[in-house]
Structure 1
């Protein structure tokens, strides 16, 4: 097998495990929105937003650092693995205990009454276990054990989903007498209704524990090696990566942390702040459909970009890739936004979540610009000027915080959605502007912006033109979607035939 075929095969395995995992986890949203009221789901949304930040802190860039140092000539990989694992085992234990001790203050950030501290303890344990598993997973990738990596990842996801369905759907239904009533005594011993949304965290904790069991070979091979001196170069390399990761998390998840803090009490009549977070978080999941497309594209395009970088015609190729990527994402943006009421029937199973649907087009467009930014960022990756990525990430973080502060008190969760859109649009625009000076590519900027404006116009027409009859509305929305696709095919087909951007 050639090196190229081997790389392509492993990329496909890693990609499938990641994308399928995200799809399967997204399918839990209908379960949560059907079984939990918005305020309960707000707890899940808020705490997992903190998890995104704390995951970066718990691993503090050591996964990437392990890859970098393991590939240096003369490195004893086993010794490096031992030292990194020893450090992570120590820090994970300290962070987990510290976070558990801070359970009450953390719960107060979400405005939860006393008695929910166990959620924070479970979250702390999940973070600690996942941090310990990070380096064994990195070692599997380093040793080209893609199938084992993917199998363990998928086992984690499937167990998590299975336990969620068991505790959130099966057990309550059995106790309610909907089916399998002979099992009620057994279920009553296994299931405590007062735990409620806590079973979401318990399921994650069980899956993380099971992952470490599956990684037992990699864990048993560790020999504890203490000593700060050999770790100094590792930590110097790791901390900028951690800062970059934190900046990325600000742009991606900070809105769900800031929303319950900066939303005025009573902003949404009859709802508390946690309910608003739950509604926003559930609607945000619909926008993840765009993220899944971007993730799939990244797995295929990243090796392609680097392979094409030495070709004479690579700038033209990059421009063509961005053009068709943007047009495909524009079609998805229109299709989901125009038909969002149909999509919502799948994801949002309780009527109270539907009032937040207006944020979906904004968040879809925001994620589209994130995908555009990722395409444009090829210039600083190919020129080894990756520090520009850090600058752009922190610029986006500053804008995200500022706009959330200004807009949440005025617009509620729509303010958070607009802040996300503004952040990713600014990052894409700055990345293009800087790229023109360091690595010029003939991107058809005006043409693509025109198409995006047309897409926004189509979505606006579908939202603001009232149609009382449901079937007439569905037919009109389908025609709008097909009309937009047909317009792209009609206008862009000659360019495609000529190979133009």
Structure 2
């Protein structure tokens, strides 16, 4: 049980930076949706969709590779750290410079107006800075310095949020005549025509601050570039990069394809960028699930590698998946049944609220993504990472195909359904393949029944509406309580055995 306590405690610490930080960032959504029309926010959504792809290219699987080779017997972690970071430094410099120099033509390729060229340049610098922090952060995780990891991550997030508040809330208020004492300062640093550009500028400053806060991890770094040494690492990493790119197809391609494949006037009176802005804002409501998944991944990845050689590791992995899935199921039920009340708190303009129907679907999709991350331990421990590439590529093909069919028929609802179908299929494929190569006694049938029951309760709550604020909340609270009670009655006797 001490193993699980250690994993839980580290997940909790990583969760401070992940959950608290993401919540702080998420509190910006009401500000964005109040300050910017959906079409303006659509530009932000579209650019950050491309950022997700490029983050994978900039780091090309070296974080997981670093964990894997650092845990091998006799590994010289210091030398490994220097060589991996040297390679990443060299590649990052080339990629960042290329993106800055080609910002305008690259915008043309992705159908974003050329007047946003400086946004693209800032995005390139953000990508470069974030890539350089990847291995120092991985080193902190490897050394179990969860508190330092969380503190630095949180500092960058706080800086980002603070700058957003300054430029998007305070400065416009000052220009309207409020707080005359700070008007001279604001006049020097604030350009009202920048608009959504301040979102990218704030992110750039926060990324730079994060790199500076990692100075101790960078202070003793020595540039060592040995391709012979790195060749086996690259052989392990490139399938992970391909898997990551496929994962980004599944996670973000819908926001890229939506404006391209959405029929004209599908949503009367709204442009395609408006639809992207609405979908992107509502997608943020599924953040409650992704918060838990991200915090868990930070702690679980080094944990799985460390436990991989233990005799009872399959039973350990099965128990972890069980409780992870059940916790996520609770989040899925609670948020989905109350999204009509949560939504208006964050999506301030009425035009955004029409997209709330996608939230339960995306929450369930992200739950299956978390299950897939748990199941994927088998191909990482057996050095068969190419299976992850195959599974991710299959999911990417499914994503593209379903979006092609469903976007013209259902708009952004089709995007959400495609995401759910993709992650569900990837989880099932990973489970079936894992049974052959690294058998783990996962309680698949039991967990499937719990998820089916959770989905049924959510569907019941959505399709049987109750009039009146109090009656609706009592109905939704009753359904949530019913699920919690069932979990308690069924799973409690097994907890002592686990």
Query: 1:403–1:5: structure 2 CA closer, same or farther, 3 Å change rule?
Result: closer
Q: Is the 8 A contact 2:308 2:381 kept in 1?
A: no
CA distance in structure 2 between the partners assigned to 1:123 and 1:13 by the alignment: 29
CA deviations 1:364-403 (Å, max 9, x no partner) are: 1111222232333444455554443332222212211221
Q: CA deviation at 1:261?
A: 2.0
Q: CA deviation at 1:416?
A: 1.0
| Alignment RMSD | 3.3
CA distance in structure 2 between the partners assigned to 1:382 and 1:301 by the alignment: 13
Q: Is the 8 A contact 1:110 1:260 kept in 2?
A: no
Are residue 340 (structure 1) and residue 339 (structure 2) matched?
yes
Are residue 369 (structure 1) and residue 357 (structure 2) matched?
no
Matched residues, number: 496
Tell me what 2:269 maps to: 270
CA distance in structure 1 between the partners assigned to 2:189 and 2:109 by the alignment: 31
Tell me what 2:407 maps to: 408
Tell me what 1:124 maps to: 124
CA distance in structure 2 between the partners assigned to 1:383 and 1:325 by the alignment: 23
Q: Is the 8 A contact 1:110 1:274 kept in 2?
A: no
Query: 1:311–1:423: structure 2 CA closer, same or farther, 3 Å change rule?
Result: same
Query: 1:75–1:182: structure 2 CA closer, same or farther, 3 Å change rule?
Result: same
Tell me what 1:100 maps to: 100
- Please give the secondary structure, in 2, of the residue aligned with 1:265: coil
CA distance in structure 1 between the partners assigned to 2:34 and 2:151 by the alignment: 30
Q: Is the 8 A contact 1:283 1:357 kept in 2?
A: yes
Are residue 351 (structure 1) and residue 350 (structure 2) matched?
yes
Query: 1:409–1:182: structure 2 CA closer, same or farther, 3 Å change rule?
Result: same
CA distance in structure 1 between the partners assigned to 2:299 and 2:143 by the alignment: 21
CA deviations 1:457-500 (Å, max 9, x no partner) are: 3222222234443333233222222233334444x157547859
Structure 1 gap ranges (5+): none
Q: CA deviation at 1:103?
A: 2.0
Structure 2 gap ranges (5+): none
Q: Is the 8 A contact 1:322 1:443 kept in 2?
A: yes
Q: CA deviation at 1:453?
A: 2.8
Query: 1:457–1:151: structure 2 CA closer, same or farther, 3 Å change rule?
Result: closer
Tell me what 1:295 maps to: 294
Tell me what 1:164 maps to: 164
Query: 1:91–1:306: structure 2 CA closer, same or farther, 3 Å change rule?
Result: closer
Are residue 196 (structure 1) and residue 195 (structure 2) matched?
yes
CA deviations 1:231-290 (Å, max 9, x no partner) are: 544444432232222122222222122222222232211111111111111111111211
Q: Is the 8 A contact 1:306 1:382 kept in 2?
A: no
Query: 1:126–1:325: structure 2 CA closer, same or farther, 3 Å change rule?
Result: closer
Q: CA deviation at 1:409?
A: 1.8
Q: Is the 8 A contact 1:164 1:199 kept in 2?
A: yes
Tell me what 1:29 maps to: 29
CA deviations 1:432-456 (Å, max 9, x no partner) are: 3233444555544444333333322
TM-score calculated relative to the size of structure 2? 0.87
Are residue 418 (structure 1) and residue 402 (structure 2) matched?
no
TM-score calculated relative to the size of structure 1? 0.87
